[in-house]
Amino acid sequence: MASFQPLRQMSNLWRTSSLVQWSTGVPSPEDLVAIPLYLNPGNIDEAREYYAGRFNFNGELHKTEGSSPFDITNASPEWTSDLHGFTWLRHLHQAGSPIAKSNAQTLVRDWLEKYCNDTTYIAWTVEVTANRVISWLAHARLIIENSDQTFYLNFLQNIAAQTRYLILSVNSAPAGLPRLLAKTAIAYASLCMQGQSPANQKKQIASAANALGEELVIQFFADGGHITRNPDMGISAASVLLPLHHLYLQRQENPPIQLTNALDRMLPMLEFFAHPDGSVAHFNGSGLKNKKLLASVLKAGGHSGKPPENAALSGYQKMQSGRTKIIIDTGNSPNSIYSHRAHAACLSFEMSSGSNIIIVNCGAPAHHQLKLSQAARSTAAHSTAIINDTSTCQFQKNYVPPSNDSALISPPISTGIDDVKIHRTSNEQGEQVTASHNGYEKLFGITHQRIIQLCEGGDIVNGTDQFTEKEAEQNSNRLNTISIRFHLHPNLSTKFINNNVAVQLTSPNGESWIFTCIDARIEIGDSVYFHPESVQSKQILLSATIETSTEIRWVLEKVVRPDTKINGDNNPHSQPTADDLLDLMSRK
């Protein structure tokens, strides 16, 4: 990392020169004319931790021991990125006390003294810089209140320098959310700071708006889903784009039409992925954003659009009847450059009944450990079928992530699914989705088709998994094995009934569902659920072999038994180790 320092220091001087100010259209600002909203709720308890010198990001805790958190050198790239991104200022903002304001200003001063001249590479990755610009502008009142004029001007000039860097570096940012955040931060700065003639200011605002508009067209499908197919990316984007839209109106500027259109489609799509308890369904790495952020975004958006049922462009289908909601992954694998967090999860589904979540995918760990993260991305970690213990997608082998960019920490998909067929029907009996994918055709010559029917009223779910071998495969001597997994929410208790061909699932409020299958061997096994911290859970596992064409039918039927309660001692939410989790996820 030291080899980068002279180059980066020279780059810092260059981007603050008058030539760079002219070429980027960002002069030295003289005043802050607007402060954007910040939608990610803070937590006063976290602010208290910072007062005490304890900084915990995504489960990784470091203690300052009286020094600056910016002096910590043994942290992971993800922790360091979070620290330098300053999104944690929201907790100090939530506290709002004099000590919180003093702490915020001290930490910003500390960063300006230590990293203004770019002595570390992680601090100046595009995504981290974009987060820092957005956070500093959104919490500017917290940072600059009662400060002296010298600090105030230094603060603004440094934001301008970071904005120039983003303008010069944005196209080298990783594709996806990092690039979108950078263009959003540039737009924030164009609207919030003033230091040039009105004509040049207009030009800067228009340039930033045009660049952002083009990126939104690239990154969001017409149905509102994000190109990564990760619902969390949509939440993150909406949390900064909604305040930006408000900023345009506040400054009496016309928001780019692409921004207005994207938000109009994005917000109903976020509601599409929300379970009734407010949590986000676990698909393609999602589930790390908390309920409060999603609720804050949806409230701020105030949209009146109805969530789609057929989100074919984003690769998802939804069925809903009565209190039951089912979301199914029916999409191709994302393009490789957008797939660093994508999962091998085609035809997996999640299901909720009112506030009870029943069927889930395992999700993604909050703190990155390569083996554990890759296990969570495998097909076995999702509620779908896996053949011969092989995932439907293959990830790039021998991948070496950049040491300075947590956005690219996991390997991309090298070979994925590129042909999913979908058919929906609806009648008086209910709704039905039929979908198939080609993930196993090249590997084993087998097509997997899944049919899920949600009966009218939502109390019965009929499922069929069909496996058909190609003719050439039928003549081979290989015995192909099937495992169909139904990962269960950790709040559920499980027990075998009906001579071990059915499993009763009972929620804490007494609601019960009966899972039945007579076409395959049925077991109850251990699983793990990330939300975002890991807890042990259970899974139903169906096992069979493929005989030319194999059909496995299963049924989920609701039976309400108000007198049935879970004994908390039988449902411990213990914190397993990383090795425990890997072992749980590999069990059959």
Q: To the nearest whole number, what is the mean pLDDT of the chain?
A: 88
Provide, rounded to the nearest whole percent, the portion of the chain with pLDDT above 90.
74
Phi, psi of 575 (to 5 degrees): -100, 95
Lowest mean per-residue pLDDT among 98-107, 339-348, 571-580: 571-580
Which residues contact residue 527 at a Cβ distance below 8 angstroms, ignoring those fewer than 6 apart?
A: 362, 485, 487, 488, 536, 537, 538, 539, 584, 585
Question: If residue 464 lies in a helix (H) or strand (E), which one and from where to where?
Answer: strand 460-469
The pair of structure tokens assigned to 538 is 């259970």
Mean pLDDT of 483-499: 96
Place 9 in a pLDDT band, splitting at 50, 70 and 90: very low
Angle between helices 231-250 and 257-272 (to 10 degrees): 140
Q: Which candidate, 351, 208, 377, 215, places its Cα nearest to that of 286?
A: 377
Question: Is residue 492 over pLDDT 90?
Answer: yes
Please indicate whether residue 194 or residue 197 has the higher confidence score (pLDDT).
Answer: 194
Question: Is residue 588 over pLDDT 70?
Answer: no
DSSP for 494-555? EEEETTTTEEEEE-TTSEEEEEE-SSSEEEEEEEEEESSSEEEEEEEEEEEE--SEEEEEEE
Q: Which candidate, 538, 564, 560, places its Cα nearest to that of 324?
A: 560
Q: pLDDT tens, 195-208?
A: 767 888 899 999 99
Give the amino acid at 14. W
Lowest mean per-residue pLDDT among 163-177, 190-204, 461-475: 461-475
The pTM of the full predicted model, rounded to 2 decimals, is 0.89
Place 55 in a pLDDT band, splitting at 50, 70 and 90: very high
Contact 532, 507 (CB under 8 A): no
Contact 323, 316 (CB under 8 A): no
Angle between helices 98-115 and 44-51 (to 10 degrees): 60
CATH 2.70.98.70 is right for the domain spanning 326-586? yes
Buried b (16+ CB within 10 A) or exposed e, 369-396: eeebbbbbbbbbbbbbbbbeebbbbbbe
The pair of structure tokens assigned to 433 is 């989705």
Question: Is residue 102 over pLDDT 80?
Answer: yes
Q: What is the residue extent of each domain of the chain?
A: 326-586
Place 369 in a pLDDT band, splitting at 50, 70 and 90: confident
